[in-house]
Amino acid sequence: MKKAFTMIELVMVIVVLGIVASIGADIIVKLYENYMKARSIERLQSQTELVLDQIANRLQHRIKDSVIGRINDGNILHYVPLPNADATYQILEWIGKDNDGFLGENGLPGWSGFVDLDSANTDRTAVPPRISTPGSRLDFAENTINALSDGAVSLNAGAQSPALIFKGKSSYDIAQYGWSGADGNYTHAVQLNGVDVLEFIEPTANVDINEIYEQYNLAWSAYAIVPVGGADDFNLTLVYNYQPWENETFNDGTTSILAEHVSTFRFTQIGDTIRLKLCISDANRSNFNTATDSDFSFCKEKVVY
């Protein structure tokens, strides 16, 4: 007599195999989803670090008392010095030193940052005042600034001019940087080694407008980090190549998108230290099935001294 599987046994085997296959499929799906989520988190982490590094690299060359927070409501008068900014101020804005021109070439800076007050070429009484800055390759600074600004800024007369910001003053009033879109009497022409730039001055009866100090910074652009879009899902943009001391606002600058699907951008200042917080959302770019998984984001903070 031949032995064989009964129909019940075959059915049981099929049922068991089906259960095993179902469990295995769920495990494979979970493993794949976990892999995709881990890959997305790694991508968001790298993107967040890259964006914060780009902002920090520019912020570290800021004129420290020029940094402001601005409310993103289109009113150019809604700004405060950064230490006074709270969460309602979404735009971070500052004047940047010309670091690229400063680095120069062949060991010689484009601008040295020093004034020879004893030089015969330094004359406070001239119109415009003349100052001598030894050790400077202003031709290199001119070429660098002109290239980075797409030809908009030049040390030559008649063009949009860089700003000369003396470091000898104890402080500048925040309005002197032109944040209101109308610099008024806050700027004054001065010649640096015979080329025309603008000097920030303090237009009061107690200050000599031709007062010159031994150290200066050269600036050709302001910078703004501007959220564009909704409250919880927006593009974070960098705006540059505009000169507040030439009556320009960030609406006149060149815009570059730093990151899309940003859910949080916050900044605060304690002393001279600026703390940044950035969160970028996955926004279901990983094609997860559940609403919970599709909403995850990665956050990172960075401190700039």
- Could you report the per-residue pLDDT of 94-116, keeping only the tens digit for each? 999 999 999 988 878 999 999 99
Q: Is the pLDDT of residue 70 over 60?
A: yes
Tens digits of residue pLDDT in 204-213: 444 455 567 8
Q: What is the pLDDT of residue 287?
A: 57
Query: Cα-Cα-Cα-Cα dihedral of 46, 52, 55, 61, to 10°?
Result: -110
175 backbone φψ class: left, alpha, beta (φ>0; ψ -120 to 50) = alpha
Task: Kindly state the average pLDDT of the residues 159-179.
Answer: 80
pLDDT over 60 at 248, yes or no: yes
Residue 113 is classified by DSSP as S
Query: Mapped to the 3 state alphabet, what secondary structure does 194-211 carry?
Result: CEEEEEECCCCCCCCCCC
Tokens standing for residue 296: 């995850």
| pLDDT recorded at residue 208 | 56
Query: pLDDT by residue (tens digit) across 123-152?
Result: 888 888 889 999 999 999 999 999 999 988
* pLDDT of res. 60: 95
Q: Does residue 148 form part of some domain?
A: yes
Joined together, the tokens standing for residue 122 give 């330094």
What does the pLDDT read at residue 40? 79
Alpha-carbon distance 296 to 281, whole Å? Answer: 6
Cα distance between residue 243 and residue 128, in whole Å = 21
191 occurs within a structural domain: yes
Tokens of 198: 């603008």
CA pair distance 74, 97, nearest whole angstrom: 26
Of 25-29, 267-271, 273-277, the one with minimum mean pLDDT is 25-29
179, part of any domain: yes
Instruction: Determine contact, residues 269/66, Cβ cutoff 8 Å.
Output: no
CA distance 85 to 221: 22
Instruction: Please check whether residue 81 lies inside any domain of the structure.
Output: yes
Nearest-angstrom CA–CA distance, 47 and 262:
11
- Whether residue 168 is predicted with pLDDT greater than 90 in this model: the reply is no
Domain count, the chain: 1
Q: Of 238, 237, 243, 240, which Cα lies nearest the Cα of 253?
A: 240
Is residue 35, in this structure, part of any structural domain at all?
A: no
Give the pLDDT mean for 185-196. Answer: 82
Residue 161: domain span: 68-222
Residue 208 lies in a domain: yes
The pLDDT, as a whole number, for residue 284 is 64
pTM of the model: 0.84
Asked if the structure places residue 158 within a domain, the reply is: yes
Strand partners, 237: 226, 257
Sequence-distant (6+) residues with CB within 8 A of 227 are: 72, 90, 91, 234, 235, 236, 237, 262, 265
Whether 98 is in a domain gets the answer yes
Question: Residue 39: exposed, middle, or buried by beta-carbon count in 10 A (0-12, 13-18, 19+)?
Answer: exposed
3-state secondary structure 14-76: HHHHHHHHHHHHHHHHHHHHHHHHHHHHHHHHHHHHHHHHHHHHHHCCECHHHCEEECCCCCC
